[in-house]
Structure 1
Amino acid sequence: MTAENSPPNLVAHVLIEALPYIRRFHSRTVVVKYGGNAMIDETLKQSFARDIVLMKLVGINPIIVHGGGPQIGSLLKKIGKESEFIQGMRVTDAETMDVVEMVLGGLVNKEIVNLINTHGGRAVGLSGKDGGLIRAQRLQLTRPGPAEQAPEIIDIGHVGEVTGMDSALLTLLDGADFIPVVAPIGVDENGTSYNINADLVAGHLAQTLGAEKLILMTNTAGILDTQGNLLTGLDEAQVRALINDGTLHGGMLPKVECALQAVRNGVKAATIIDGRVPHAVLLELFTDSGVGTLIHNGADRSSSP
């Protein structure tokens, strides 16, 4: 059933349910990490863009941080360069970093900007190099060595971690009704560029801006229990218990740690949502049930208005 042929009472119910959430988030910042299927499937791309435009129109300040790993891998393959991963991170030499900047800061970023603008928004594309937005340093991975020896340090090149942020440019854009779209590229004091995990950049931005909410889009329903049921309304103690008993493991762990760090440092709530659901962002923000796992700091125990 489409919006055009929905019964009027159903439309009215949806609007009434959304109203208190619109009031709660009005003039507040919501940081959205955009990635996964929502960046690839054409229908999901269109619904995401409309969600962001609607958020801005009702007075919310959305900031988008995007990834682009598959697109980077595809271009590297086309130019005959093999991708190597260590502990889930792409080894990034100087040549690969040039490709990363071209794909993230150029192709992917401008596609998202164009998509939002096509649906009536005023998006502006940025990388962390613009206005000194993201300060970074080289990320050092370690691998345990033999007994009684120091861990081995692994150099994976131009892969970075956030050391600081200057949000002045984002604040200026928000105040002028623009929608910032940020590529997760940072720079150190010597001008060296680094590729940074988009979840981590989104989390740091949310903390720096004192965001009301951090939304991390994934290709899963959220945090599931051992029976496959969706869990929500979790505080740090509950999440730690799920990690300790093995329920939470693998690729979900970095996202969960990012969400925990955000709420520990002032973000009201973080949600890991299912980006495979059309209009997932709006459903998470403006409905009672939401579409993912809410993680809170223990004081604010729900996403209720």
Structure 2
Amino acid sequence: MVRDSYVLSEWNVGQNIILKRRDNYWGKMPEVTKATYVFRSDDAVRAAMVATGEADIVPQMSEEFVDNAETDFAYLNSETTYLRIDQFVAPLDDVRIRKALNLAVDREAFLGTLVPEGAVIATHMVPPSTLGWNRDLKPWPFDPEEARRLVNEAKADGVDVSKQITLIGRTNNFPHATEINEALTQMFNDVGLNVKLEMHEVAEWIGFYSKPFAEDRGPRLVTAQHDNSRGDPVFSMVWKYSCDGGQSGLCDKELDAMIAKASAATGSERAKLWKPVFAKVHNDLVADVFLFHMVGFSRVSKRLNYEPNISTNSELPLEQISFN
């Protein structure tokens, strides 16, 4: 029995990939008989390809080229932007400082300016469509006065709040990445912290983001974007928050036990058990500075019947495409 509806017909390195439909496929036969994937790095060129008839779908394009209501779609994609807090190094090991970081960020000010208007302020590492997503969690408010109070309280207790914290950003990680990181740095400094921004290319940045962390490092925040289009928290929470997680900035044995229990559960019990995990990460441990569930933009030819969705960020299901 042939289980795959398409077969790789050609692969011309650096030029295109061609898939063809299997005529002996066992299931419902998709309408698309052949799909050619071409590679174009320039955003302007890719956006123009549908209009010229060179392409039928541009799965991801820049917001600046969205100008045709008949062909252009905006949708909540599976990416979440956030700052990973390294809780192993002072003063970031103090929950008051982590709360201050969250309270210092004016998330609303980014929407419609440096971040697309349709983005959603995040309270989770995973998007709202994920199993067990906790609707009771509320975004951290913008309250710089309370942030300053927490910084001063920590200082009075002997926490060295003057210690320089490095914010590690990745060049072109997402649109306006540099400008967003610059704004965040200013917001943190405005509440009495000492934050310095460093922007790095991906090869250097991953060394800061993933373990093993340097033993002699200072306190760090790392700006990152995480994709979970699979719909299950296990693909995010173990790696990002368990003690052994490759990109975890914390180690909490109680949280580890909660993650393990939720990961092993099934059905409705699995969804139920993930909710308190999300609450502990966001409310109790204040593990990270969550920013936004991001928006994607796609262009689709009017001859196709297909509407992009959260999965379009990582895959293009040919079986779901038909012709008008």
TM-score by length of 2: 0.29
| Higher RCO structure, 1 or 2 (CA under 8 Å, sep 6+) | 2
Higher Cα radius of gyration: 2
TM-score by length of 1: 0.30
Higher helix proportion (structure 1 or 2): 1
